[in-house]
Structure 1
Amino acid sequence: EAVEGDVLLYARALAALETLREPRTTAATLALAATGGSLMQRIQRLVRLNGRTINANTRTRSPFVAAALLAVLVCTALACARALVPAEASASRDAVASDRPSPRREVAVTLVNFPGNNIYSIERLTNKTRKLVRSLAANNVKAVAFVNEVRLYKEDGTPDDERVALLREWLDAGHELGNETFGHKNLYNHSVAEFQAEIEQGEKIMSKLVAERGGRLRYFSYPYLNTGATLEAKAAVENYLRGRGYRAHPVTIDNMDWLFNRAYIEALRREDEKAAARIRAEYIPYMERMFEFTESYSREVVGREFPQVLMLTAGALNGDCFEDLAAMIRRRGYSFVTMEQAMKDEAYSLPDNYVGKHGDSWIGRWAVTKGLVHRDAEEVNLPEYMQQYYAEYTKQQAAKSNKK
């Protein structure tokens, strides 16, 4: 009978411990049990002899057996509590972490070579530009488009009214225009005086269009993102731009979309839909890799992510793909802002002492100025077939240069 009583006691205690293992048991309850609370009281009640349950003639169990059983049960309870409480605490920490907001991501959309690069057919140019404007509106994006006014003239030197009309449509849609010099000249290869003349010549048509709507030209984009061969030339142009009311276009998400665009328009001209579809399919993943790189580089150079300025090439590719591009950008947690809003971030006040043959993003400039490692992922992130296309393009450009 004593053995049966001990077995009954042990079984009841195990049942109590089984309750502890239920998922709904809270960490607080387990902690209370581990410190001598309700679980201990339940075990003590099980150990007590109860005359209503056990016959009075039954021999009482040894106090040593009861004490041993009690010690075993207490140790087991403590082990369970220690095993379960950290799990509960870990789950609680995970819940708190999941509630933390992800980094606030914002991006401004800008386009260069507007209204379209390498599009010679006015019908195609009009179609792709209007498609882009519709896509921007659908995504509530207000963009700045930088123009080389040489594209607004016919071969006889008279303004091309149809191309100028596209600029009017752009402004009427609520977007902004900016100056990219008249003929897309590289400051590295020109004197300060020549470059200043390019700036002035590049605003003749646009300034009138903007003034008709009560505005003025506010932004200037350096062709090839090159700010000069020397710090003196760089400073001279910057002072000149400030005097004319311009702010520089501070590109942070640089990329080689222009290369995709070139290959794409070539495919469209030869009516190669298979090649065009492949380019569209590869373009968005490439741009996502460039976003990933920029986010990481921002944290490395600035110490945080900040509102980015994305540079896109105006043309057939972005006309056809902006909806998909915007979807990718939103999926990464971005909201769209204007360039004016983005540039309010203090990151855009960081010093920039970079000059050289190759243009660079503003993050790259800040890195060089701080003495940090300069990183460039534009070409590395290209898919293999686009790397091959780029190699061929480079050879062609070198051959043209040698002929000159």
Structure 2
Amino acid sequence: MKALALVAALLLGTAAAGRPPEIALTFDDLPSHGPLPPGETRLSVIDGLVAALKAAHVQHVWGFVNGRGLAREAGTAGVLEKWRAASFPLGNHGWNHSDLDKVGAPSFLDEIDFNTPILTGQMAGQDWHWFRFPYLHEGSDPAQRRAVRDGLATRGYRIAGVTMSFGDFMWNDAYARCAASGNDAAIRQLEQTYLTAATEAARASRHAAQGAMGRDIPYILLMHVGAFDARMLPRLLAQYRREGFRFVTLEQAARDPFYAADVDPRLGAAPTLEARLKDAGGKPLEIPSYSEMLGAICR
């Protein structure tokens, strides 16, 4: 906890020196992500997320849909309806959450199109043309990457990039195991490490942006609609505010020139924050990995 307090103080000090840093929350994998702990349903998870966002007055949070969840898991249609009832928009995350390298550009674009009836139905005439790459992976073959970006541009899509992530999805699996075994001490450990990881990731993203760009950018945070995310979101939002962040929308963040190649896919993929930092002669911050601990806990 001392380390967390120190990092928070550093972030607050930097924010106090100029304009507060901005962060746009986005959530992937609607309507279903990860295993459920005892007593939870997909609807209770989305209820928890929506309640936390509303209580913190965080508005216009985009959720990205994998249509396969509706087809594979009964009782999930209400998730999208609850999200929309809260006035949160929905975008496209591909029908099967497929990796471009594994399916190829034609099938990848087909899976984007498979989601269209869901999005047009849920968004009721509003613009839903934001796409997030599954696994944040545009593919390793330049021709495939170009074909998909051209296809996105033709369809009128903008890409929802990510410039901040702390691997929140890993905690959802661990939490389901620990809750099933009734291990309260382990759950407290999950809570502490989740918040610590979020602060460490925020510090690393800000370090990369300031080293590469000479300034903060509006950061786009990737999260998931998991049960532990719902449990922790009130505390996470309060923590970001204590660290000096101001919440903005995806659209507001994407106006920054850093995201130009996402707003217009025809421009081709731009270097990541980390790549730009390296090109500028800087080094990324070293932050701990929690994957081993999270994979082993409550086994």
Shorter-chain TM-score: what band?
Answer: 0.7 to 0.9
Q: Tell me which of 112, 117, 120 is aligned to 2:33.
A: 117
* Matched residue, 1:397: none
Written as runs of structure 1 = structure 2, the 5 A alignment for 1:108-257 is 108-119=24-35, 123-142=40-59, 143-154=61-72, 160=74, 162-211=75-124, 214-257=125-168
Once the two structures are TM-superposed, the CA of residue 352 in structure 1 deviates from its matched residue by 6.1
CA distance in 2, matches of 1:190, 1:224: 14
Q: Is residue 171–residue 228 contact of structure 2 (8 Å, CA) maintained in 1?
A: yes
CA distance in 2, matches of 1:375, 1:237: 30
* Matched residue, 2:4: none
Letter of the aligned partner of 2:121 in structure 1? K
Distance change (3 Å), C-alpha of 1:152 and 1:238 = same
Secondary structure of the corresponding residue to residue 153 of structure 1: helix
Once the two structures are TM-superposed, the CA of residue 101 in structure 1 deviates from its matched residue by 4.5
Letter of the aligned partner of 1:183 in structure 2? N
Written as runs of structure 1 = structure 2, the 5 A alignment for 1:312-351 is 312-349=223-260
Q: Tell me which of 256, 268, 287 is aligned to 2:179.
A: 268
Partner deviation per Cα, 1:333-374 (whole Å, 9 max, x = no partner) = 1111100011111121267656xxxxxx94235457x57567
1:382 aligns with 2:289: yes
Q: Is residue 139–residue 326 contact of structure 1 (8 Å, CA) maintained in 2?
A: yes
CA distance in 1, matches of 2:98, 2:84: 25
* Matched residue, 1:84: none
Distance change (3 Å), C-alpha of 1:111 and 1:306 = same
CA distance in 1, matches of 2:106, 2:172: 32
1:283 aligns with 2:191: no
* Matched residue, 2:18: 102
CA distance in 2, matches of 1:273, 1:124: 20
Letter of the aligned partner of 2:274 in structure 1? G
Q: Looking at CA atoms only, which structure, 1 or 2, has the larger radius of gyration?
A: 1
Q: Tell me which of 273, 296, 301 is aligned to 2:207.
A: 296
CA distance in 2, matches of 1:106, 1:169: 27
Distance change (3 Å), C-alpha of 1:137 and 1:288 = same
Secondary structure of the corresponding residue to residue 64 of structure 2: strand
Secondary structure of the corresponding residue to residue 148 of structure 2: helix
* Matched residue, 1:364: 274
Which fold has the larger relative contact order, with Cα–Cα distance below 8 Å and residues 6 or more apart in sequence?
A: 2
CA distance in 1, matches of 2:220, 2:191: 22
CA distance in 1, matches of 2:143, 2:78: 39
Letter of the aligned partner of 1:204 in structure 2? P
CA distance in 1, matches of 2:181, 2:151: 45
Letter of the aligned partner of 2:42 in structure 1? L
CA distance in 2, matches of 1:118, 1:381: 23
Q: Is residue 169–residue 224 contact of structure 2 (8 Å, CA) maintained in 1?
A: yes
Partner deviation per Cα, 1:301-327 (whole Å, 9 max, x = no partner) = 222101100001210111011111111
TM-score, L = length of structure 1: 0.63
